Homo-oligomer: A and B are copies of this chain.
Amino acid sequence: MSLALQDEQMSDDIGTRLKLVRQIFGLTQRELARRAGVTNGAISLIEQNRVSPSISSLKKILDGIPLSLAEFFTLNFLPSDELFFSAGELTEIAHLPEISMRLVGRRAKGRAMGMLHEVYQPGADTGEAMLRHEGEECGIVVSGCLTVTVGAQERTLYPGEAYYFRSDIPHRFRNQGAEPCVLISANSPPTF
């Protein structure tokens, strides 16, 4: 059975959403009501979309699961067959010839982040025209070395070293070493 929701339901169908969440956590209306300190009738009405709960009520209910409001609204109900990925299943995102960028999983909307396995060949360069986009990004060098420029700052990172910056600051990646550089990076919200 699939627990996936359509996009339209993701945004406004609070009732179905609550019902799904409650069932995923194996709770009855009465049990959840008891934990949350509300009545089972209220939960019934909400799940039927016969009322639109106040934030305070919804928060009380979610506290009984427990689940935050932010999580409740961002839940994307990923199908369970997309949990694990073998190396060959990472989806290649080739922007430049000398740089391999492979994303964990498919390009899924609604995810909180994207994780990439990247390989920079010697001499690879994302370009003097610095990259700039929304979000934050972070990475750790696994092997080789990578010269990272962020705004006015620049540094060459070696295995075990890392970076974390806001992606709206202009940035650039270059491999100035003699061997390929392997980098594992993450960005949130996902760029790809």
Chain A residues at the B interface, C-beta cutoff of 8 Å: 6, 10-12, 14, 51-59, 67-75, 78-80, 82-87, 90, 104-105, 111-113, 115, 117, 134-136, 138-140, 142, 148, 150-151, 153, 155, 157-166, 168, 184, 186, 188-189
A139 to B72, CA, bound (A): 23
With a CB–CB cut-off of 8 A, which chain B residues contact A105? Answer: 162, 164
Instruction: Give chain B residues whose Cβ lies under 8 Å from the Cβ of A139.
Output: 115
Closest to A148 in B: B84
In whole angstroms, what is the CA distance A113 to B157 when docked? Answer: 20
User: A86 CA to B68 CA in the complex, in Å?
Assistant: 34
B67 touches A115 (CB 8 A): no
Query: What CA separation (Å) do A153 and B79 show in the bound complex?
Result: 12
- Inter-chain contact A79/B166, CB cutoff 8 Å: yes
Judged by DSSP, the binding face of A is: mixed
From B57, B111, B138, A136 is in contact (CB under 8 Å) with B111
A112 with B189: CB separation less than 8 A? yes
Question: Which residues of chain B come closer than 8 Å to A55, judged between CB atoms?
Answer: 14, 52-55, 58
Whole-angstrom CA separation of A138 from B162 in the bound complex: 17
Supply 20 A–B pairs (Cβ within 8 Å), ascending by A.
Answer: A6-B56, A11-B69, A14-B55, A52-B56, A55-B55, A55-B58, A73-B74, A74-B74, A84-B157, A85-B162, A85-B163, A87-B158, A87-B160, A90-B160, A105-B162, A111-B136, A112-B188, A115-B162, A138-B186, A184-B184
Chain B residues with CB under 8 Å of A117's CB are: 140, 160, 162
Are A165's CB and B135's CB within 8 A? no
Min distance, Cβ A26 to any Cβ of chain B, angstroms: 12
Choose one: B14, B115, B136, B164; the contact of A85 (CB below 8 Å).
B164
